[in-house]
Amino acid sequence: MTKSYFVYILTTKNNKMLYVGVTNNLQRRVFEHQQKLISGYTEKYNLNKLVHYQEFSDINEAIIAEKKIKGWLRVKKNQLISSFNPEWKDLS
């Protein structure tokens, strides 16, 4: 059985702030963010709209991708999201 790992991007309802994370269960993790079960940045700033995700079969590749995306300027993150989800709809 192959495991899946996801790099994901959350934003606010008005798309003002971004959060990049990694998980092995995207549905559960987004639910936890939406229900504010995870304290910290996403809870404080109400980042609960899933606008981008990438799937990986190797956790190390997922972590590398997460760190790479976190290091990008906002404009490059916006381009990534828009190429995947042009209308920035909530994918959850």
Domain that holds residue 74: 5-84
How far apart are the C-alpha atoms of 5 and 24, rounded to whole Å? 4
Residues 33, 39 contacting (CB under 8 angstroms): no
In-domain check, residue 89:
no
In-domain check, residue 65:
yes
In-domain check, residue 92:
no
How many other CB atoms sit within 10 Å of the CB of residue 69?
A: 20
* pLDDT at position 35 over 80: yes
Q: What is the pLDDT of residues 69-80, one digit of tens each?
A: 999 999 999 999
% of the chain exceeding 90 in pLDDT: 96
Residue 5 confidence (pLDDT) = 98
* pLDDT at position 51 over 90: yes
Mean pLDDT of the chain: 96
In-domain check, residue 77:
yes
Residue 22, domain CATH: 3.40.1440.10
Residue 70 confidence (pLDDT) = 97
How far apart are the C-alpha atoms of 46 and 14, rounded to whole Å? 11
